[in-house]
A = this chain, B = another copy of it.
Amino acid sequence: MAEDTRLTPQSEDFSAWYNEIVQQAELAGHSPVRGCMVIRPYGYRIWELMQADLDARFKRTGHQNAYFPLFLPLSALEKEAEHVEGFAPETAVVTRGGGKELEEPLVVRPTSEAIIWPIVADWIQSYRDLPMLLNQWANVVRWELRTRPFLRTTEFLWQEGHTAHATAEEALEETRSMLGVYRAFMEETMAMPVVTGEKTPGERFAGAERTFATEALMRDNRALQAGTSHYLGQNFARAFEVQFQTEEGEHDYVFNTSWGVSTRLVGGLIMTHGDDQGLVVPPRLAPHQVVVVPIWKDEDQRVLVLEAAERLRSVLAGELRVHVDARDTLNPGAKFYEWERKGVPLRVEIGPRDVARQQVVAVRRFTPEGEERKRFLGEAEAIAVLPRLVDAIQAELRDAARQRREAHSVRGLDDYGTFRERMEGEGGFVYAGWCGSEACEAKAKEDTGATIRVLPDEEFRSDPSPGRCLVCGEAAAAEALWARAY
């Protein structure tokens, strides 16, 4: 990476900034197949760390991973009427296999409800087999016309949870509980605060009875739907004959849920924390939490500083992901620039003078107000301080993101004209009343591009709650979170 590679400032063109970051931080690459994603090692490592964290949360809540076929017969997709209507137009279809035309075309899974439930139906006999708590890490394909790396791609990686329960209450509790798992992951691990709530009927997953989502605010003041959790009722169980014997000996259909997050989260991470210097990775997801840059002029110094760098790395290795950048093909300035662009939380510089003084220089990527960007630390002190500093940065990033979100959220706005101006201007979150009609949702979208992201959960609602619909002025049925979104 050349030191003079330009990065468009966010304020000038956020979209250009995003695309440049993705290339310059080596997160994704160009693909010869339209809309398909190439995830480069640095970007994939972030995804791997997300996966490991999420997977542990899924296992702790009793879920087991399994794997189901990539292909599903077109006829299976067609069994749930709303589901096929929602997904069929965006599928990729295999019509030839092994050199022959197939008798029945196969759809590349856009999501797996229609392949999983006919299979799992055989595994469920009685209430004793319930709940069935499954998760799958997989690739899915949805034919997208306009694609952007991580945010919207034809093929993407995700996890899809699929569960079956004996009662509606238990399934709804699962739907809610997984939304909570997503929120905890996003806030604790991604340092990305989210608002949770329910989608309006028009924004539900095709085939779901209720859809819940987490919504985050990006640095350009547009919303990102980061995760969704669906209560499917008995729709899929009826379509695919998933029955069980109840404790009382009756037969009933199971109640299902599904929930997913995808590589889109990497896009969310970029747009939550990145700045005009490049990417900023929260420590818990950073491929390297600390990069040590040794500084030398001659061979004697090189041996000396590399030895000190390696000593520090090996002591910290149990606690932190530390990388020593020992390349002799780049000068220290170019290294500083590269790791800044790649968003490494902490850089540690060690020069010959530092070795003589038994000290190192720690430089933060992100510095909140009131903190020093650069600190001199004794060698022994560094071993104790660096892990704490990394933890502190994780919390500071989350706090800064929350402050940014709150600074760009308004409540109590009841004038539609002001709302339009705001959506055409700075954007952000608007909490306002909604009468419950699809017409008002549609009008706002048409006029401003903004949609109801969710009907927020109680803790996010305003007090007093808005009394009138932002669009038509009639009595509000609920409070809604409006924003322009990705």
Question: A interface vs B, CB < 8 Å?
Answer: 29-33, 36-41, 44-45, 47-48, 64-73, 76, 88-99, 105-106, 108, 115, 118-119, 122-123, 128, 134, 138-139, 141, 143-145, 154-155, 157, 329
In the bound assembly, the distance between CA atoms of A388 and B282 in angstroms comes to 40
A329 CB contacts on chain B under 8 angstroms: 128
Of A37, A67, A119, chain B has the most CB atoms within 10 Å of the CB of: A67
Instruction: Contact check, B32 vs A76: say whether CB atoms are below 8 A apart.
Output: yes
Instruction: Contact check, B69 vs A40: say whether CB atoms are below 8 A apart.
Output: no
In the bound assembly, the distance between CA atoms of A329 and B128 in angstroms comes to 8
13 more contacts with CB within 8 A, not counting A33-B73, A41-B134, are: A31-B69, A32-B69, A32-B76, A33-B115, A36-B71, A38-B67, A44-B64, A44-B66, A70-B108, A71-B155, A89-B99, A95-B95, A98-B143
Instruction: Contact check, B93 vs A97: say whether CB atoms are below 8 A apart.
Output: yes
Instruction: Contact check, B93 vs A64: say whether CB atoms are below 8 A apart.
Output: no
A44 CB contacts on chain B under 8 angstroms: 64-67
Chain B residue with minimal CB distance to A69? Answer: B36
Instruction: Contact check, A68 vs B38: say whether CB atoms are below 8 A apart.
Output: yes
A68 CB contacts on chain B under 8 angstroms: 38
List 5 contacting pairs A-B, 8 Å CB cutoff, sorted by A.
Answer: A38-B69, A44-B64, A91-B97, A92-B98, A98-B144
Q: How far is the CB of A73 from chain B (nearest CB, A)?
A: 6
A88 CB contacts on chain B under 8 angstroms: 99
Number of copies of this protein chain within its complex? 2
Task: List 5 A-B pairs, minimum CB-CB distance, nearest first.
Answer: A98-B143, A36-B69, A41-B64, A39-B67, A93-B96
Chain B residue with minimal CB distance to A75? Answer: B32
A67 CB contacts on chain B under 8 angstroms: 37-39, 44, 47, 157
A92 CB contacts on chain B under 8 angstroms: 71, 94, 96-98, 106
Instruction: Contact check, B33 vs A122: say whether CB atoms are below 8 A apart.
Output: no
Q: How far is the CB of A271 from chain B (nearest CB, A)?
A: 20
A157 CB contacts on chain B under 8 angstroms: 67
Chain B residue with minimal CB distance to A88? Answer: B99
In the bound assembly, the distance between CA atoms of A73 and B145 in angstroms comes to 18
In the bound assembly, the distance between CA atoms of A106 and B139 in angstroms comes to 16
In the bound assembly, the distance between CA atoms of A83 and B204 in angstroms comes to 45
Name A93's contact: one of B90, B95, B122 (CB within 8 Å): B95
Of A39, A69, A72, A93, chain B has the most CB atoms within 10 Å of the CB of: A69
Chain B residue with minimal CB distance to A63? Answer: B41
Instruction: Contact check, B70 vs A36: say whether CB atoms are below 8 A apart.
Output: yes
Q: How far is the CB of A435 from chain B (nearest CB, A)?
A: 35
Q: How far is the CB of A125 from chain B (nearest CB, A)?
A: 11
A33 CB contacts on chain B under 8 angstroms: 69, 71-73, 106, 115
A122 CB contacts on chain B under 8 angstroms: 29-30
In the bound assembly, the distance between CA atoms of A97 and B147 in angstroms comes to 15
Instruction: Contact check, B41 vs A65: say whether CB atoms are below 8 A apart.
Output: yes
In the bound assembly, the distance between CA atoms of A108 and B71 in angstroms comes to 11
Instruction: Contact check, B29 vs A41: say whether CB atoms are below 8 A apart.
Output: no
Chain B residue with minimal CB distance to A136? Answer: B44
A64 CB contacts on chain B under 8 angstroms: 41, 44-45
Q: How far is the CB of A342 from chain B (nearest CB, A)?
A: 14
Chain B residue with minimal CB distance to A26? Answer: B123
Chain B residue with minimal CB distance to A153? Answer: B69
A155 CB contacts on chain B under 8 angstroms: 69-71
A105 CB contacts on chain B under 8 angstroms: 96
A143 CB contacts on chain B under 8 angstroms: 97-99
In the bound assembly, the distance between CA atoms of A128 and B329 in angstroms comes to 8
In the bound assembly, the distance between CA atoms of A247 and B407 in angstroms comes to 54
In the bound assembly, the distance between CA atoms of A98 and B115 in angstroms comes to 20
Q: How far is the CB of A137 from chain B (nearest CB, A)?
A: 9
In the bound assembly, the distance between CA atoms of A88 and B97 in angstroms comes to 10
Chain B residue with minimal CB distance to A102? Answer: B92
Known interface pairs A44-B66, A97-B93; A119-B38 also in contact (CB < 8 Å)? yes
Q: How far is the CB of A41 from chain B (nearest CB, A)?
A: 4
Known interface pairs A66-B40, A71-B36, A155-B71; A30-B94 also in contact (CB < 8 Å)? no
